Each structure stands twice: as C-alpha cells, then as structure tokens.
Amino acid sequence: MRLLLINGPNLNLLGTREPEMYGSFSLEEIEEKLCMKAKQENIQLDCFQSNCEGALVDRIHQAIEQVDGILINAGAYTHTSIAIRDALLAVNIPYVELHLSNTYSREIFREKSFLADRALGIVSGFGLMSYHLAMDGLVSHLKKNIE
Ligand code: DQA
C-alpha cells in the first residue's frame, strides 16, 4: 500500500509556530514518526509540504495511479481552496482531512472546509495524534477495500 501525506502552508514552521496551538513537534519529526509507523505496517509513505497552492495541486495530480490514499493537512487552504478540492476530486483517490487544532473551536472562518464533505473522514484537534489517527482510519478503510 502506498500513501501520500500532504502538508500545506505554514506547516513547515511547526515546532516554533504558535506551539500552544500546534504543539512543539517540527514537521520533520511528525513525518519521521509517521514514516516509522508506516514502515512497521509495510506501507510506503511519501511526504510533501508546500506553501504554494499550485504546487499542492501539482503534487496531488502526480499521485494518480501512484498512491492508494492521501492524508492532507491543507492548513489555511482548507478554508479557501476550491483548486485543492477540485484536484482531490479529479484524481479520485480517497483522502482524509486532518488538523492539529480543533478548527471548530477557533475563529468562525475555520469552520468552513472545502475538503470535508468529500473526505473519507476528518480528524481535528489531537495534535500529533491527529496524523496517527488519520493514517489508522485511512489504512483500515483501504485494507477493507482490498479484502
Ligand atoms: C491547521 C488549521 C488551519 O485552520 C490553519 O490555517 C493551519 C493549521 C491545523 O492543523 O490545525 O495552518 O490546519
């Protein structure tokens, strides 16, 4: 099984960016932990981060026929990007939307997600654990489909 983890804008600053909101792990550490977990489960996990909407769209396109599922923390683009939504629907790969913070307990503009209604599921508010829970959910869904 092959998965793709996508992180959007400002997530490259994790560790120092508002640690009270997003925790003290760097993105590198999060990716490392997730890759270790994936390896234990015999899953190949590719990781990608960009601050640019177009680069995120391009990376989603590259996943066609390469990837079984996508984990995506699109950061602020979650709340604004029809282009990222369209890319995810165009490649027709199951995806899970995830967030470190609980986006529903913050500003009202974070309650809107352009990705949520077509996602397999959403995980929001568990910090680093959001990534692990999202991966567990996606893997268990994909395994069920393969069986
Ligand atoms: C975030 C939540 C978004 O609202 C915000 O713009 C981010 C991070 C999260 O992981 O909690 O950049 O996606």
pLDDT tens-digit profile of 49-100? 999 999 999 999 999 999 999 999 999 999 999 999 999 999 999 999 999 9
Per-residue pLDDT band for 4 (boundaries 50, 70, 90) equals very high
Ligand 1, atom 13: closest residue by C-alpha: 75
Task: List ligand 1's pocket residues with C-beta within 6 A.
Answer: 10, 73, 75-76, 78, 99-101, 103, 110
How confident is the model over 125-142, as a mean pLDDT?
A: 98
Per-residue pLDDT band for 103 (boundaries 50, 70, 90) equals very high
pLDDT tens-digit profile of 7-54? 999 999 999 998 999 989 999 999 999 999 999 999 999 999 999 999
| Distance of CA 81 from the midpoint of ligand 1 (Å) | 13
> Could you give the angle at which helices 27-40 and 128-146 cross, rounded to 10 degrees?
30
Let me know if 130 is exposed, middle or buried by CB neighbors in 10 A (0-12, 13-18, 19+).
buried
Q: Which two tokens stand for residue 48?
A: 């990608």
What is residue 138's predicted lDDT score, i.e. its pLDDT? 98
Whether residue 106 is predicted with pLDDT greater than 70 in this model: the reply is: yes
Whether residue 147 is predicted with pLDDT greater than 80 in this model: the reply is: no
Atom of ligand 1 nearest to the CA of 106: 4
Measured in whole angstroms, how far is the alpha carbon of residue 33 from the centre of its chain? Answer: 14
Percent of the chain residues topping a pLDDT of 90: 96
User: 125 by DSSP, 3-state: which?
Assistant: coil
What is residue 105's predicted lDDT score, i.e. its pLDDT? 97
What is residue 41's predicted lDDT score, i.e. its pLDDT? 95
Question: Given ligand 1 and candidates 73, 79, 84, 109, which is best to mutate, with the most ligand atoms within 8 Å of its CB?
Answer: 73
| Distance of CA 122 from the midpoint of ligand 1 (Å) | 13
Whether residue 145 is predicted with pLDDT greater than 80 in this model: the reply is: no
DSSP structure class, residue 15? T
